[in-house]
Amino acid sequence: MVPKLFYFLMFFTLFTVTFASVEEATALLKWKATVLSQNNSLLASWTLSTDACRGWYGVICFNGRVNKINITNAGVVGTLHDFPFSSLLFLEYVVYLDLSTNQITGSIPSTLGDLTKLNILYLYENQLSGPLPAEIGKMKSLEYLSLWSNNLSGPIPITLGDLTELNVLYLYSNQLSGPILAEIGKMKSLEYLSLWSNNLSGPIPITLGDLTELNVLYLYSNQLSGPIPAEIGKMKSLEYLSLWSNNLSGPIPSELGNLKNLTRLDLSYNQLTGLVPVSFGNLRNLQTLNLAANELSGSIPKEFAYLDSLVLFSMSFNHFSGLTEWLCKDGKLEIFVVNGGKLEIFTVNSNKLTGPIPRSLSKCSSFKRVRFNNNNFTGNLSEAFGIHPELRFIDLSDNDFHGELSSNWGKCKNLIDSKGIWKINFSG
């Protein structure tokens, strides 16, 4: 009796799996009939006469069931309206749906939410439009969601905060509007959050500080307003923070100095006011610091001498009145050990800087591009200028310098282009 029952169960399982495969294949073929493929050789394999689990391009099965679909770059032209989301009952396995880099238009159907076991969803670089369906919040197994570079519009649905397993959320380069919801702070597993180049407005929610696993936070090129929340200083894993080109105002919170893993910090093109926090001296891994085009004032703190990994530093178009003497100091008699560092791009133009250029900058042998123009600098240029063998451009115009040029200028071979013209601007 037991062997008969065993064989019956085996037959029933095999029949069920086979039926499911035919059902899935038929549903996919129905969708294929509604779209065009600019690369017919890829989807030509999708026929009833072939095994969907073995012969179909971009289709991978597990236990006879369609488990992964990857038809990226297949040149598909069409919509998702007839895509069989409800027919593809994926197993609890690492599953994948990649329809990216095609020409898929129209809205995202609410039936997408039926894929409750999907781990990875890539629909980027298409022409999708309309709102994000609230049903996405039902896809509790999602770990990667990439919808970037489409024409999606409307607000971010509050249900997105239910995706607590999400590691990567890429919604950038769309037309999304409305606020960044506080519910995003519930996504405690997030490591990458990119919402840049949308029409998002309102304040940055303080709940983002709860995303302590986050490595990348890109919110630039939106219409965000209000202060930078001090709670961002709790995001100790953060390596890249870009908030440029918004309407952020108020002072820079000193708590940002707690982000010791930060390598890129860009706060440019906002309306930030006040002083640069002394705590920025703690950001020893910082390679890029861009504070340009704000309303910042005061002096650059001497603690910046600790930033010996800095490659790019821009404070242009502000109201700064002083530079620290300690940048690029050799540190023999002081606690600072910059020794010239790695600083390549240094732009302080269009401020209220006065007095001579700090002598310590003559030790920045790594300089490639420098702008001192449109300030009130004075002093003897021959004393301020060091040996900068990598220097390719320098602008000293609109200041009150005097004196003869140093012989060190002749050692800057990259300052002369192929036509023998010097890439130096003294005029103004």
Q: What token pair was written down for 369?
A: 């591009």
Domain annotation covers residue 323: yes
CATH of the domain at 305: 3.80.10.10
Say whether pLDDT at 333 is over 50. Answer: no
Say whether pLDDT at 339 is over 60. Answer: no
Contact status, residue 332 vs residue 354, Cβ threshold 8 Å: no
Give residue 420's domain range: 294-428
3-state secondary structure of 382: helix
Q: What token pair was written down for 291?
A: 């504070």
Strand partners, 66: 61
What is the layout of strands, in order, in the sheet containing 295-299? Answer: 36-37, 76-79, 103-106, 127-130, 151-154, 175-178, 199-202, 223-226, 247-251, 271-274, 295-299, 319-322
Res 324: pLDDT: 75
The helix (H) or strand (E) run that includes residue 13 is helix 2-32
Contact status, residue 295 vs residue 271, Cβ threshold 8 Å: yes
Domain annotation covers residue 405: yes
- Average pLDDT score over residue span 347-352: 96
Q: What token pair was written down for 173?
A: 């380069």
Single pTM value for the model: 0.89
Burial class of residue 285 (count of CB atoms within 10 Å of its CB; 0-12, 13-18, 19+): middle
Number of structural domains the chain divides into = 1
Query: What is the rounded CA–CA span in Å between residue 68 and residue 121?
Result: 10
Q: What tens digit of pLDDT does each residue of 28-83 get?
A: 899 888 888 756 667 888 888 788 888 888 888 888 888 888 888 888 889 988 88
Say whether pLDDT at 8 is over 50. Answer: no
Q: What tens digit of pLDDT does each residue of 253-278 get?
A: 999 999 999 999 999 999 999 999 99
Res 85: pLDDT: 83
Q: How far is CA 288 from the centre of its chain?
A: 14
Domain annotation covers residue 267: no
Query: What is the rounded CA–CA span in Å between residue 232 and residue 248?
Result: 14
Domain annotation covers residue 422: yes
Domain annotation covers residue 319: yes
Res 12: pLDDT: 35
The helix (H) or strand (E) run that includes residue 29 is helix 2-32
The DSSP secondary-structure symbol of 134 reads G
Q: What token pair was written down for 298?
A: 């005061």
Q: What token pair was written down for 399?
A: 């200041």
Domain annotation covers residue 332: yes
Query: What is the rounded CA–CA span in Å between residue 230 and residue 238?
Result: 14
Res 243: pLDDT: 98
Q: How far apart are the first and last CA of the chain?
A: 101
Res 47: pLDDT: 86
The DSSP secondary-structure symbol of 248 reads E
Domain annotation covers residue 336: yes
**Locus of tokens 């099965």:** 61
Domain annotation covers residue 73: no
Res 269: pLDDT: 98
Query: What is the rounded CA–CA span in Å between residue 361 and residue 374?
Result: 18
Res 348: pLDDT: 95
Buried b / exposed e over 322-341, threshold 16 CB at 10 Å, is bbbebbbbebeeeebebebb
Say whether pLDDT at 134 is over 60. Answer: yes
Closest residue by Cα to residue 136 from 110, 172, 155: 110
How much of the chain exceeds pLDDT 90, in percent? Answer: 54
Say whether pLDDT at 2 is over 60. Answer: no
Q: Which of 52-56, 219-223, 238-242, 260-264 has the lowest mean pLDDT?
A: 52-56
Residue 364 or residue 375, greater confidence: 375
Q: What token pair was written down for 74?
A: 């297949």
